[in-house]
Structure 1
Amino acid sequence: MEKVAEIIAEASAEAVEPRFRALAAGEVMEKAPGEVVTVADREAEVIIARRLRELLPVPVVGEEAVAADPALARALHAEPAVWLVDPVDGTANFVAGRPEYAVMVSLVRDGRTVASWIRHPVTATTYTAELGSGAWRDGHRLTRTPAPADPAKWRGSVKSRFLDPARRRRIEANSAAFGEMGPGRHAAGIEYPDVVEGAMDFLLYWRTLPWDHAPGSLLLTEAGGRAARFDGTPYTPEPPGGEDGLLVAADPATWERCRALLLAP
């Protein structure tokens, strides 16, 4: 666990942090409509992938490598062990000079996330989780306390961009049951720790790219929260284009009630 944390911190210091609020002309590109990538994303992924393979020689499924060759993501189903890498989570924030970005790695074995690392470069904070062994922030054990009993006191966010129009209207109307709804932080690597630390009580995602959600979902569940599909199936990382929809909440009881309220007719 410590060695991977070192790899992430060193790659961030080498390829990411020097470019924060210092990106040069030509160092930001559009890789898909509305989605940007930077030289920091690409360089950090190369560094992290190389060093992870030296540590454990299994396939690396990186966000930028998959953008270039989508077939690489099949390793999540085809291989017994896979590294997942998100070299800069929250790239739009990074490009805009906002501090809400993260560097993330997960280890997936037999389809389950068994270890994860989330680095916040701006604060030099590292979150780690290991299946069955707990969740940690810089060596301090994390336990999420249950959300308030009254949903009117909950703080949450619904990511509605990829929802179909009918489902979006229903969920957004039902969100009136909650106390405080916000747009989120535009980076899963920031938002999952927010739930673990008590700043948020629930999050609803629709598109669930594996490098975005494998790290935080393990962190949250190891801290006592719940991350599951709408039918209650625990989250497992799927290649892009797989199953959509993911509700994460502070604790199992909050998850059940939040789902019922959001999906009410």
Structure 2
Amino acid sequence: MLMEKVAEILAEASAEAVEPRFRALAAGEVMEKAPGEVVTVADREAEQIITRRLRELLPVPVVGEEAVAADPALARALLSEPAVWLVDPVDGTSNFVAGRPDFAVMASLVRGGQTVAAWIWQPVTGTAYAAELGSGAWRNGHQLTRTPAGDAPEKWRGVLKSRFLEPAEHHRLRTNARVFGHLSEGLRAAGIEYPQIADGDQDFILYWRTLPWDHSPGSLLVTEAGGTSARLDGTPYHPEPPGGRDGLLVASDPATWERTRAILLGTPT
């Protein structure tokens, strides 16, 4: 019941506050909340709708991206509360503002510091992803099982997110990554990129900054589909307040994760 209800909440909030403004944002409906970071009225209205309805469903704190932008202390609930909702009302806001279709509406439920349920709604394609800890991952109701990437890195497809990397680290990783078959900078939307791993369209992604509302839903989706999402020291991903650890490698399967880390960091396998 919970899985279906939250999926409905995201789709309905998107239909009300997000989709009518896609490629139709009016003057004054786009603001800068931080240098290089934009927010729209769609983000704020969708988060308000989702927050209210999630609290009606399960009355625990809601850590929303826009609420935390206004009051960073709200994110501490991830450390202090037994259960927390995480909400990203428009993941990929820069794409949304530019009229590109790569954006999503996301939520997850965190208990005891671990993501136990996750939802990703992609409005443009009408695609719904969901995952439940220990039960599996689904796309539009069909269970996802990710096959391993194979043992030939020269055929792997990956993403190296370099926006928040120091120049020297970026150069080192890009140099080591030349062995891979195809490498891109990604689509600036975790709600699009993580499903690409679960669906088999990408084999790995290296993220650096890991805001919890961006990575909690997709990490559970990938791991429940058979993949791996872990810090570079091998620690499984758990959502943390902003300002925590950097670096997160996501891959199609455990063996691909290990091999990709070794290649990127230049360590022997």
Structure 1-normalised TM-score?
0.99
Gaps of 5+ in 1: none
1:177 aligns with 2:179: yes
Cα shift at 1:162? 1.0
Taking the aligned partners of 1:186 and 1:69, their CA distance within structure 2 comes to: 24
More deviation in 158-167 or 88-97?
A: 158-167
SS at match of 1:214: helix
Give per-residue Cα distances to partners, 1:136-187, cap 9 Å, x unaligned. Answer: 0111000000002100000001111111222211101111010001121110
Partner of 2:62: 60
Write the deviation string for residues 11-37 of structure 1: whole angstroms up to 9, x where unpaired. 000000000000000000011111100
Alignment partners' CA distance in 1, 2:169 and 2:26: 41
Task: Read off the aligned partner of 1:226 and give its amino acid letter.
Answer: T
Question: For residue 82 of structure 1, what is the aligned residue in structure 2?
Answer: 84
* Map of 2:44 onto structure 1: 42
Aligned match for 2:256, one of 241, 254, 257: 254
SS in 1 for 2:105: strand
Query: Which residues of 2 match residues 140-151 of structure 1 at below 5 A?
Result: 140-151=142-153
Off by >6 Å, runs of 4+ in structure 1: none
TM alignment of 1:83-122, pairs within 5 A: 83-122=85-124
CA distance in 2, matches of 1:220, 1:236: 13
Q: Provide, for residues 189-243 of structure 1, a one-character-per-residue CA deviation record: whole Å limited to 9, x for no partner.
A: 0000001111100000000000000000000000000000000000000100011
Amino acid at match of 1:109: R
Rounded to whole Å, the distance in 2 between the matches of 1:166 and 1:257 is 22
* CA distance in 2 between partners of 1:189 and 1:70 (Å): 22
**What CA deviation, in whole Å up to 9, does each residue of 1:88-129 have, x standing for no partner?**
000000000011100000000000000000000011110000
- Given that 2:158 and 2:203 are in contact with CA atoms closer than 8 Å, whether structure 1 keeps it comes out as yes
Residue equivalent to 1:2: 4
Q: Give the Cα–Cα distance (whole angstroms) in 1 for the partners of residues 187 and 171 of structure 2.
A: 22
User: Which of residues 29, 32, 52 in structure 1 aligns to 2:31?
Assistant: 29
| SS of match in other structure, 2:84 | strand
- Structure 2 residues without counterparts, runs of 5 or longer: none
Does residue 193 (structure 1) correspond to residue 195 (structure 2)? The answer is: yes
Q: Secondary structure at the match of 2:54?
A: helix
Asked if residue 14 in structure 1 is aligned to residue 16 in structure 2, the reply is yes
Distance, in Å, in 2 between the alignment partners of 1:28 and 1:133 is 39
Paired residue total: 265
CA contact (8 A) 2:162 2:185 kept: no
